[in-house]
Amino acid sequence: MECIRIFCPATIANISCGFDVLGLALDGVGDEMIIRKTETPGIRITKISGQQLPLETDQNVAGVAAKALLKDYRYSGGIEIEIEKKIKPGSGIGSSAASAAGAVGGLNLLLGEPFSKHQLIPFAMQGEKLASGVAHADNVAPALLGGFTLVRSYDPLDVIKLNTPGQLHASIIHPQIEVKTADSRKILKTQISLKDGIRQWGNVGGLVAGLYTEDYDLISRSLEDYIVEPIRSMLIPGYDKLKAAAKEAGALGVGISGSGPSVFALSKGSDRAREVAKAFQEAYTTIAVPFEIHVSKINPEGIKILEQW
């Protein structure tokens, strides 16, 4: 292979109870990238369409992530990257993660897979560090591995791919406002009560157990956030209205996707997910904020090859 075109999935991070440790990959919602070998050494981002983002390698999350990979790999040639951004920055569905994970995932494929998917995560995290100031893995891990992922530990890094129940679907509404990850982290508390911690840990364990046993009622009971949602929901116009409408439409649970402003709901079955998406839409028509809506199954494989030559 001299050139490859890939799909880089959008992701939902935190998944209510799992701040900075849980994430999932979406299917059909994401960016596309073309990565090619060149004779001129170094990494060049030659084209970005869809969004206004820097082409300079050290100022772009894809460039920083790819540079981190090549630092560990002996390759004397060069790399060119083209990015078609379909995920808006600040949307809360992993825009920076799609670029960072796509760059290292595609580059790894182009070089003959010298690294495992798990080994790619630290490289992609460097892109996230550029975007938010924190090298978190809850978006890049599912983008690379697919399905649901759990970051058990950051030091040392230990990421686990979890089971994905086959009927689980996501509905996402993206209010067309921007919430920067770095800004949304600044408003969070640095300390929590023991009571809230115990409830949150119980929900994380319950959600993981529900995913493996494919117990949708247990999944539903576990999709509660006592720590981050009460604070970040204040940044999202009409959040309580959206949550109530989705629950009434039969969603298993509702939460803030990443740092927001996107709001997600998980449902059992595609029909239910579409009904929840309709409820999102109806609830938001009275709020003077434009929005986009996505309905997606969970993507079990992460980054996908679209073309290679």
- From the list 203, 246, 242, 210, the residue with the least C-alpha distance to 226 is 203
Same domain, 9 and 61: yes
Show which residues are catalytic: 128, 181
Q: Give mean pLDDT, residues 97-114.
A: 97
**Cα gap 135→215, rounded to integer Å:** 32
Q: Are residues 8 and 153 in the same domain?
A: yes
User: Which two three-digit tokens encode residue 61?
Assistant: 């999350």
pLDDT at 12 over 70: yes
Would you place residue 109 in the very low, low, confident or very high pLDDT band (cuts 50, 70, 90)? very high
Instruction: Write the CA distances from 162 to 93, 151, 276, integer angstroms.
Output: 19, 10, 25
The 10s digit of each residue's pLDDT in 209-227 is: 999 999 999 999 999 999 9
User: Is residue 202 domain-shared with residue 149, that is, in the same domain?
Assistant: no
Supply the pLDDT for residue 283. Answer: 94
Is the pTM value of this prediction over 0.75?
yes
| Residue 213 belongs to domain with CATH number | 3.30.70.890
- What counts of helices (H) and strands (E) characterise the chain? 10, 11
For the stretch 67-94, pLDDT in tens is 999 999 988 889 999 999 999 988 999 9
Q: Do 7 and 150 reside in the same domain of the chain?
A: yes
CA distance 277 to 161: 27
Residues of the domain holding 233: 168-297
Rounded mean pLDDT of 175-186?
A: 75
Model pLDDT, residue 198: 96
Partners of 295 in the beta sheet? 171
Is residue 181 very low, low, confident or very high in pLDDT (cuts 50, 70, 90)?
low
Residues 206, 85 share a domain:
no
CATH number of the domain residue 139 falls in: 3.30.230.10
pLDDT band at 301, cuts 50/70/90? Answer: very high
Structure tokens that stand for 272 in this block: 């239910």
Overall average pLDDT of the 263-280 stretch: 98
- Indicate whether 293 and 303 sit together in one domain: no
Q: How many domains would you assign to the chain?
A: 2
Lowest-confidence region among 23-27, 88-92, 242-246 = 88-92
- The answer on 279 and 175 residing in a single domain is yes
Q: What are the C-alpha distances in Å from 30 to residues 69, 75, 192, 246, 251?
A: 22, 29, 34, 23, 23
Assign 105 a pLDDT band (cuts: 50, 70, 90).
very high
pLDDT tens sequence across 147-170: 999 999 999 999 999 999 999 999
| Average pLDDT over the chain, rounded to an integer | 94
Q: Does residue 77 share a domain with residue 23?
A: yes
* pLDDT at residue number 235: 87
Statement to judge: residues 71 and 108 lie in one domain: yes
Q: Tell me the average pLDDT across 281-288.
A: 90
In this structure, the answer to whether residues 110 and 231 fall within a common structural domain is: no
Q: Would you say residue 244 has pLDDT above 70?
A: yes
Q: What is the mean pLDDT of residues 86-109?
A: 95
Question: Which residue's structure tokens are 């820097």?
Answer: 54
Res. 138 pLDDT band, cuts 50 70 90:
very high
Query: What is the predicted pLDDT for the residue at 273?
Result: 98
User: Do 212 and 149 share a domain, yes or no?
Assistant: no
Pair (174, 155) in one structural domain: no
